[in-house]
Structure 1
Amino acid sequence: MFLAPDGHEIEIADAAATFLAEAMPIARLHGAAPQSSAALRLTVGEMGWFALALSEEMSGSGLSPVEFALFFREVGRQCGPVDVLAQSLAVLLDMDDTARADLLSGRTGVVLAVGQGLRLLGSPDAVYALDVSPTGSRLLHLGETEAAERPSLDPATPMRSITSLPTTAVATASGEHVWRMGQLGVAAMLIGLAEAALDQIVAYAKVRETFGRKIGSYQAVRHPCADMALRVEAARSQLWYAATALKEGRGDAGVHLDAAKHLANQAAVANADTNIQLHGGIGVTEEHTAHLYLKHALLLAKLFGAKRPLLANLLHAQAEV
């Protein structure tokens, strides 16, 4: 890939889209708050998606960050649970073969620890918590850790609170690699979500009528849709460049990932909000999916780089020529 997916990369994206539309359709989020089930985890593991970015020597697929981004872009389109990303990152840590096999297969689950490790995002039946920072990562066994359920704005993401994380790590990784892969995955999810919001309002504008005309014929609808498309194109282009930079081991890959995450944050939140506004009152009803995109975007925008730290990093960043 140069600046856009091609060849087998498109095939992987198409395969992921087909699989995820069946395994975790966004319709699952209506009604009672869903849990990220063990059955879903096993299904994803059986298909080998957790092993995308893991080397073949470690029983992985041996694919690159590009394919990793393509998969999580499709996860984002379905408001996929954060667990899927946490599980895919956890297998990158240094651990014994048995523990890694359990994670790859989905037999054991992983949640993401955020907010100084005091919030757990993901399925309550997970055995491990992944604590990731730009300097290193730890996989912690939750064991007897007491966790209290907390209301979550995002129905795709169950949340629990704990008073402290376990201190003993069952697996670790030094350096920023796991953080950067997490940043790439979340940015891709946000872009998939921004694309889905754009697709939804464009389809609606073609059929919804007011005063005897399709609403897509009005500038007040066409212009916001054009802004949405522009945001998607800018963020998506930066994502492909960042993924390629990471794949090729460029020294400025971190700079491009920070930029990709910032643009993805903006695109997803703004597009999801505009999608609701152009749908009118129906966009916030339980029966509709527009509000689900916004709720998921607001959560993802806080993970692996929010606005202030990203802009602080980019202020004095140096990109290679």
Structure 2
Amino acid sequence: MAKVVGLGPSGSAFLLRHGRGFGVDFSRRYVKACGEAVPVETPMVEARYVVDKVRTFRFFLWDREVGEASYTKPRWYIVDKERWVESMRAGAPSAGGPYDVLVKAGGPYQSMGEKITVVRFYVEGARRPANEAVDFVFSRDAVGFYWVFPHGGVLNVGGGFLGVDNPVPHVKKFVEKWLGGGRVVDVRGAPLTVMPRVVLHDGEGFRIGEAAGLVYPLTGEGIRPGVLSAIALAEALSTKKPLEEYRRRVAPIVKQVEFQKKLLSLAVRMSERGGALLELADDGVLRDYIEENLSARTLLALLAKKPAAAARLIAALLR
């Protein structure tokens, strides 16, 4: 029997897949600020909770378009995350009692590592991106980005930046200057772990999702790794060495998290020199960014094609 603390996407998905446990959560309903987007292959996402689809990702260094990653068919789903999570909560066991496995799934409230605050607006009447497209707009003044996602009849507009405690006024200005205005109908804020310390078991219990540090630092994506880690633990608990098996199953996620932490540190150093990591990217790198498939090989291939970019990168590394 498992006791799960935290019933967001990770905790609820674990209970549904494991089937032998109960959940504890201190919020009456699930609400968390984010882009509410998941890759189409993400497990346990039912079609009835999909409110939009995305096949083009455009990247801007403020007002200058840097590149895009496009697909012939939708690559991400935009979900009504609150309804989706509430449906998983309703389907998960809720009775308490004795337990022999503790699972921590409290997201940023249980994670270890540096955090920032992100904010999400729902905006009506603003200029929309192209059909089935999202925009990532990187600031020249801070390490971080704004996002613009379709979300049914409104836009999901948000942002988060290192060193910015309250991004609300920044996102308000972004809505006015970059989107041409619009009516804000809902505002949500939440912490996000951007330099996570990966801890899969802390001596007291297992950890999944962002509570385990399984959130991607460069994109902030946490839903997919959260659900995948929940399924991995649920299945590992039926093996003879569950922790060893859990580590094996989430190893690709951990590898990507650790690599993105290094890139985020590099982005900070480049920003201090007046540059931006995004300036080094091409469409191939941006596709790897979307696919959460960044690697040293990706960077080496890019730098071989862009000697000037290589020089700027080396200068930042040697700073």
The TM-score with structure 1 as length reference comes to: 0.31
The structure whose RCO (Cα within 8 Å, separation 6+) is larger is 2
The TM-score with structure 2 as length reference comes to: 0.31
